[in-house]
Chain A
Amino acid sequence: AQSVSQHNHHVILSEAASLELGCNYSYGGTVNLFWYVQYPGQHLQLLLKYFSGDPLVKGIKGFEAEFIKSKFSFNLRKPSVQWSDTAEYFCAVNYWDGQNFVFGPGTRLSVLP
């Protein structure tokens, strides 16, 4: 079955710390990869996405993600987090085979001021 896993359920960091959130997906042929974010009290919104080309993708608010095909991974990174990055982060995969869209379970990030 097509599935997406995220390494951490809850991450707590201090401001200015570096962030890396892990995401792995099950093999399923051609995929497109996404990170969505849900800030407290707000809608889910797109952070960044990967379709093809340069495996290092830059998104909004200083976030980036790296696609490593051999590891079926798409980890999210930010060199220096801010309190305003406190949110829940969801990795998601569009599997072309079966035309399915699968979300990971989410990682809650708490940034301490």
Chain B
Amino acid sequence: DAGVIQSPRHEVTEMGQEVTLRCKPISGHDYLFWYRQTMMRGLELLIYFNNNVPIDDSGMPEDRFSAKMPNASFSTLKIQPSEPRDSAVYFCASSFRSGFTDTQYFGPGTRLTVL
């Protein structure tokens, strides 16, 4: 398997623009997680899905952030409008049946810079 795939790897945008980050989990994995990593706050769980259904989005910082998982092989994280403080590395991870107790496989991350 190719592992968790994220695109783009780098994104530079201007404040106020819409940003969409994409993730393809490992085939057969039931759980998908979105994390954000910043120097100030470290790695934070934003939202996670089980069988394409959002289970907990309490980590999503603001209404400007939204995530969807239309099918088992694709998820998006959207920021609209983007702000400079959204600059971070965004990771997607997937795991098999047991969610948090299972090993999470991480993607390479998307480094977002908002000017």
Contact = CB atoms under 8 A, between A and B. Distances in A.
A104 B42 contact: yes
Contacts of A106: 42-43
Residues of B in contact with A, size category: 20 to 34
Nearest to A102: B45
Main secondary structure on A side of the interface with B:
strand
Interface string B85-109: 0000001010000011101111111
A94 interface: yes
In this complex, the member of B3, B45, B99, B104 whose beta carbon has the largest number of chain A beta carbons within 10 angstroms is: B104
Residues of A in contact with B, size category: 10 to 19
A44 B100 CA distance: 15
B106 A43 contact: yes
Contact of A100 (B45, B93, B104, B109): B45
Given A45-B106, A90-B43, A106-B42, A99 B56 contact: yes
Contact of A94 (B35, B93, B101, B107): B101
A43 B100 contact: no
A101 B91 contact: no
A108 interface: no
Given A45-B106, A101-B45, A103-B42, A51 B101 contact: yes
A99 B43 contact: no
Contacts of B45: 100-103
A94 B100 contact: yes
10 contacts: A43-B107, A45-B105, A45-B106, A49-B103, A90-B43, A99-B55, A99-B99, A102-B45, A104-B42, A106-B42
Interface of A: 32, 36, 43-46, 49, 51, 90, 94, 99-106
